[in-house]
Structure 1
Amino acid sequence: MKNPSSAPITGIIPVMITPFKEDGTIDWAGYEALIEWYIDNGSEALFAVCQSSEMRFLSLEERVELSRFTVRQVAGRIPVVSSGHVSDSIEDQITELTAVADTGADAVILVTNRLAADGEPSATVRATLDQLLSALPHDMPLGLYECPAPYRRLLSDDEMAFCAQSGRFVLSKDVSCDLDTIKRRTALVDGSPLKICNAHAAIAHPAMQVTKAGFCGVMNNFHPDLYRWLQDHGADHPELAAELSTFLVLSAQTEPMGYPKLAKLFHRRLGTFSGTSSRAIPFDIHERYWGTEAVLDHITQGTELFRRKIAATTRTMAA
């Protein structure tokens, strides 16, 4: 296990999806191919067993094995963080988080809506954090995720400061979707191991510039390499960065069209894996969201267009 004071876990961090076979079991060969696709396309860390993984629809055994498989397949090439934090009772939370910690992940991510029920006060959050921090291995780096399901609980400034000052937390997946909040939080955690990583595509580029901690949004399942270029080179190419940002923001508006099944359909088209089954989205997204295939066509075409533009920029700089 890594000490929380070691190198920060930042950058382009996909929230991983889980491919299933037709019989409903996890498609491990497809998952392996997906891991390699993430790495080949510029990912700098992976967030396993998260909302995009359909963690609330997975058994504890499946959540643990997803984390363990990811760590084993990545084999130290990039960091792996894992959550699987879905239970209501504190006893069950300790059981599941301890089990995930034992899989070799570089950090275990706590879901903020598990720290207190909707409407409960900050005192409940602090009490739950105290119990979890006492129960979890003290040398295990931790993270935070303001997961929107079953409800979104944004941490207060006091709660965020407590986590930063504890020295135990290294990553916060920020779902405030508000640049001013991100600026304030970034200043709040300055000097601590805790880094703020935005998850909202609409503010991805300016948030990257503020936090220096990357992007951890669902569209990393479609074109993480474009976000990687925006992070690494956008400041040097403001016109192309602005054009690319517009495409990325508009592409991200497809998330309500049956994600994560939409991302699975995208990967079936790429050939990463063949199944599009989803426990979280059991219905046919083609019937509910008209023009799904045409929308994916445009995302694919736009992605390739910007890859060509980036390649042309790279060649011009090298000449």
Structure 2
Amino acid sequence: MPKKFVPVMLTPFTPQADIDYDVLEKLIDFYLASGVKGLFANCLSSEMYSLNEEERIKLTKAVVDHVDGRIPVVATGSFGLTIEDKAEFTKKIYDTGIEAVVLITSHYAKTGEDDDVLLNNFEKMLSLTGDIPLGLYECPVPYKRVLSAEMLKTLVDTGRMLYHKDTCCDEKLVAEKLQAIKGSKMQFFDAHTPNAVSSMKAGADGMSAIAGNFYPEVMCWLCDNVDNPGKQEEVKWLQEELRKGDIPVHTAYPMSAKFFLQLRGLPIHAISRSHALEPTPAERAGLDKLLQTMKMWCDKLGIKEKVYESVM
């Protein structure tokens, strides 16, 4: 099956730090023009922890409405103090029209609690959410709860889990997880750009990395060509280039992504609710250099660079 790139969406804000729905539509158009095959809304890159419940729902609904069925949309739904609260929010966000509600693994067991607690809480969650399609997200916040291959298979065997965003950053564990769920309906997306090629060649359905908020068309090219016999030299070369570019991508994120998109012509404000520090002059120079590097990748690989003016 063709591999897919699914960005973890940014949330644009106005100068008053309200959600900027006009720019959100322009950002979605930019993602779509770049060739993405899905969108992950209301996620960590979306600054979901700095949004209230009403904003999370309204933001996700705005994404679904603007996408208008062109590609699938998933969104995080495991918010609330109790399992019952999380189940109620899951129902509300599913009603926005998303394909699946993604559950954060660390919302179902505290640090130090074993997998029995995690499994019991997931089973309760399943019992309270009817037949709503669900997914899993090893989100780094509040802490990263990486699933074992055995636990992932146990959850997949419930028949409810259709999506997984993996953040273990471990090639061996990724391969074990993919083997454990082989033949299931779950779609597996790796978040770690440096392992993109190895994960997809091991069977991952695609990538869902923050690099997609800098150069989604490049990430789409990699997903499109990772199994192309005639492009293996270019794939290997691009993977190494992306590995080198991973440090500036993560520095001062998500502000760095908003600055980078400004350099690319998108009218997005460099405003974040969750990250107050702007990139330093040295970090901005690094983003300028990364943009020139991205243009070199596009020239070498024949990728049509997407800019704001050409999207609209």
Q: TM-score of the superposition, structure 2-length normalised? A: 0.92
Aligned: 1:266 with 2:257 = no
Per-residue Cα deviation, 1:50-72 (whole angstroms, up to 9, x for no partner): 00000011000010111111110
The alpha carbon displacement at 1:311 in A equals 1.6
Taking the aligned partners of 1:280 and 1:117, their CA distance within structure 2 comes to 23
Residue 285 of structure 1 and its aligned partner are, at CA, apart by 2.6
Alignment partner, residue 18 of structure 1: 11
Partner of 1:252: 246
1:256-295 pair list within 5 angstroms: 256-286=250-280, 290-295=281-286
Equivalent in the alignment of 1:37: 30
Q: What are the Cα deviations for residues 81-112 of structure 1, in whole angstroms up to 9, with x where unaligned?
A: 11143433223212221211111001110000
Query: Residues 159-308 of structure 1 correspond to what in structure 2 (within 5 A)?
Result: 159-234=151-226, 235=228, 236-286=230-280, 290-308=281-299
Deviation readout 1:220-277 (Å, 9 max, x if unpaired)? 1111221221222244222222221122111121244210111111122223223111
Contact 1:189 1:195 in 2 (8 A): no
The answer to whether the Cα contact below 8 Å between 2:9 and 2:41 also exists between their aligned partners in 1 is yes
1:37-186 correspondence to structure 2 within 5 Å: 37-138=30-131, 140-186=132-178
In the TM superposition, what whole-angstrom CA distance separates every residue of 1:95-138 from its partner, at most 9, and x where no partner exists? 22121111100111000000111111111111111111111130
Q: Amino acid of the residue matched to residue 117 of structure 2?
A: T
Cα distance in 1, alignment partners of residues 268 and 6 from structure 2 = 23
Structure 1 runs of 4+ aligned residues shifted over 6 Å read none
> Residue type matched to 1:142 in 2?
L
Shift of 1:166: 1.0
Partner SS state of residue 245, structure 2 = helix
Q: Using the alignment, how far apart are the partners of 2:246 and 2:290 within structure 1? A: 10
Structure 2 alignment gaps of length 5 or more: 305-312
Query: Compared with structure 1, are the counterparts of its residues 196 and 276 closer, same or farther at alpha carbon in structure 2 (3 Å cutoff)?
Result: same
Instruction: Work out whether residues 164 and 186 of structure 2, in 8 Å CA contact, stay in contact via their aligned partners in 1.
Output: yes
Name the aligned partner's letter for residue 242 of structure 1. Answer: K
CA distance in structure 1 between the partners assigned to 2:279 and 2:80 by the alignment: 28
Higher deviation after alignment, 172-181 or 249-258: 249-258
The 10-residue stretch of structure 1 (109-118 or 269-278) with the greater mean CA deviation from structure 2: 269-278
Partner of 1:118, secondary structure, is: coil
Measure the CA separation in 1 of the matches of 2:3 and 2:126: 22
Is the 8 Å Cα contact of residues 12 and 214 (structure 1) preserved in structure 2? Answer: yes
Q: Distance in 1 between matches of 2:139 and 2:200?
A: 20
One-letter code of the match for 2:35? G
The answer to whether the 8 A contact 2:77-2:93 is kept is yes
CA contact (8 A) 2:4 2:224 kept: no
Whether contact under 8 Å (1:16, 1:47) holds in the other structure is: yes
Per-residue deviation, 1:293 = 1.9
- Structure 1 unpaired stretches of 5+: 1-7, 314-319
Letter in 2 for 1:80: V
Query: What is the CA–CA distance in structure 2 between the aligned matches of 1:9 and 1:208, rounded to whole Å?
Result: 10
Q: Report how far residue 164 of structure 1 moved.
A: 1.2
Contact 2:75/2:98, CA 8 A, preserved across alignment: yes
Q: Distance in 1 between matches of 2:271 and 2:26?
A: 17
Name the TM-score, length of structure 1 as normaliser. 0.90
Relative to structure 1, the CA distance from residue 249 to residue 12 in structure 2 (aligned partners, 3 Å threshold; closer, same or farther) is same
Please list the CA deviations of residues 183-237 of structure 1 after superposition, one character each: whole Å capped at 9, or x if unmatched.
Answer: 1111101121112211101111111111240101100111122122122224422
Q: CA 1:92–1:9 in 2, change beyond 3 Å: closer, same or farther?
A: farther
Give the SS at the match of 1:237.
helix
